[in-house]
A and B are shown apart, each in its own frame.
Chain A
């Protein structure tokens, strides 16, 4: 049975902080940082936004984009590394808010930045086997970077929801295949009860990101017998602008192929939402028949690669919900003090 994306929805909080405003606090050189990271500003959640509220907004956007009867959704999986509760699912909040309850299964996923794509794969299995009619996979985060840590320049907020189904007539993109590449590589982690993650510095690059992204990407192309030039677009996990650009080049994809999905320079790293945001931004402008290649990366570590073929249906549903570029427009900028308040770095008690 073929499976595919029936709808998608994205959500990005309206606040931004510029890299230079963070750099000023820590005495770093903003120009060098921005050039190196290829990130200029990042999204910041409102005081009353968290992963659950972002997941709900993304989920509602996906439901309304294709006018989906939420009762058809038989599974809601939310991937995040910043679930508001350590124990108690985010996905039940989402399911209740979109009125998909009670006849469904739900669970939260965690795999650093690729929990959302892992949720997509789980949904593919469920709808592909006919266990459920539609599955909803969400990647959402209000990721945390410790004050002064390199991650603080990029850790952003946002979320994306995909509704996965098995009826080709309602798919906007067929998922041609998926392949994952997973090892136990401790390049980034956060211990229970700790507010900020730890990372292996440069160790996150070669043995982490690049090994697993290329492993998954090459694995999928090998499995499918495809090559980079078979694709119109490509999306790679974007913790910054540099990594996806470099990995694209390593794999043989061009700058033009990754351009529409490279949203990190003006958004930052939305972690579980990162690669999915790139896919959403690409779907926002893809034409029927286009093929999209995507690979997510999650520290710890693994890569999830996907091959999509866009259908005629895309033209019918694309404009019915805000596009990623629209969500990025007209941000409200804040200084580091307000940012610290929004991120809970200022505590009243």
Chain B
């Protein structure tokens, strides 16, 4: 991913910052600038989520995506934030630990890098919230 393309959404990745539609009180993460429910009647504002959530579903990826080879096998999950929205993230732990419905909390990690010379991309991943499982 190009430098500018990553940087543009950096604040949404460093912290779980999405959007909220004041018209229908729906939260969005990843952020949306148009509320799909209200469309032009929507009133969108930035919204910082608390962070914790649940695993909706997951997989253990053995054949890694390009750039993720060193991490294989890794757990990829759809996570539902306590405020409602769902998004895709890695759950960083022993893959055997992951289960549907488990509580997870955010951590700050490297998302990737553009080879040895390029940018390092940082952002949020998830880990099991062992105090709440």
Contact = CB atoms under 8 A, between A and B. Distances in A.
A touching B, CB within 8 angstroms: yes
Interface in B51-66: none
A84 B15 contact: no
B108 interface: yes
Interface string A31-68: 00000000000000011111011001100100000000
Given A47-B71, A84-B120, A60 B92 contact: no
Q: Count chain B CB atoms within 10 A of each CB in A48, A52, A85 and give the residue with the most.
A: A48
Contact of A348 (B14, B70, B111, B125): B70
B109 A96 contact: no
B72 to A, nearest CB: 10
Nearest to B125: A48
B118 to A, nearest CB: 11
Nearest to A344: B70
Interface string B1-45: 000000000110011000000000000000000000000000000
Interface in A213-241: none
Q: How large is the interface on B (under 10, 10 to 19, 20 to 34, 35 or more residues)?
A: 10 to 19
Contacts of B71: 47-48
A249 interface: no
B30 to A, nearest CB: 18
A49 B110 contact: yes
A337 B109 CA distance: 22
B69 interface: yes
A23 interface: no
B122 interface: yes
A122 interface: no
B102 interface: no
Given A84-B120, A93-B122, A348-B69, A48 B15 contact: no
Contacts of A53: 107-110, 122
Contacts of B14: 96-97
A99 interface: yes
A6 B82 CA distance: 31
Interface of A: 46-50, 52-53, 56-57, 60, 84-85, 93, 96-97, 99, 332, 341, 346, 348
24 contacts: A47-B70, A48-B71, A48-B92, A48-B109, A48-B110, A48-B111, A49-B109, A49-B110, A50-B120, A52-B110, A52-B120, A52-B122, A53-B107, A53-B108, A56-B108, A57-B107, A85-B120, A93-B122, A96-B14, A97-B15, A97-B122, A332-B94, A341-B70, A346-B70
Which are the 6 A-B pairs with shortest beta-carbon distances?
Answer: A56-B108, A48-B109, A48-B110, A97-B14, A53-B108, A47-B71
